């Protein structure tokens, strides 16, 4: 998401601000969405086994990575899932989440054996924009409720359609 001022829509009637970015709009296939949601939930729950299994299945990892890369993958994933790990409001501003995520970049550059799935580049750009906007606004959001709602919705969707 590109959080420039041209991408905001303010509804005077409801006093709600919307972030819109049609340039970042794209579709994702069902298998990618389900797998990625499983990874987000695993990160939120700090479930290392599911994180690694899904990461290999989806192509984030090959299964041949060294321990340094696996640890960086796990820690960056758990950091990314942190806002969704509790039903308490998450304080984006004081979390230092972006600086903590960037700590793993050099490990990824040195030890990554395969690029992540192509779809993830646009998705992570959108996620980074949303996180940065929440930081800038000083947002405190109960993100776990949102994750639960999305996971429940996804479970109700027919597979293979």
Active-site amino acid positions: 2
Q: Is the dihedral of CA 19, 83, 129, 80 positive or negative?
A: negative
CA nearest 1: which of 137, 141, 128, 120? 128
Contact 131, 81 (CB under 8 A): no
CB 33 within 8 A of CB 84: no
Distance CA 159, CA 161 (A): 6
Based on its alpha-carbon atoms, the radius of gyration of the chain, rounded to whole angstroms, reads 17
């Amino acid at each position: 998401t590109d959080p420039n001022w041209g991408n905001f829509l303010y509804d005077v009637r409801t006093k709600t601000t919307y972030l819109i970015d049609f340039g970042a709009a794209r579709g994702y296939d069902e298998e990618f969405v389900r797998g990625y949601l499983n990874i987000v939930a695993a990160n939120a729950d700090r479930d290392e086994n599911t994180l690694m299994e899904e990461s290999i299945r989806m192509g984030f990892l090959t299964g041949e990575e060294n321990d340094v890369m696996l640890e960086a993958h796990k820690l960056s994933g758990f950091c990314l899932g942190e806002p969704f790990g509790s039903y308490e409001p998450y304080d984006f501003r004081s979390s230092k989440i972006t600086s903590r995520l960037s700590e793993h970049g050099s490990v990824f550059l040195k030890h990554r054996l395969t690029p992540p799935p192509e779809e993830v580049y646009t998705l992570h750009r959108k996620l980074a924009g949303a996180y940065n906007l929440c930081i800038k606004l000083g947002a405190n959001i109960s993100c776990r409720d949102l994750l639960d709602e999305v996971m429940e919705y996804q479970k109700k969707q027919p597979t293979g359609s």
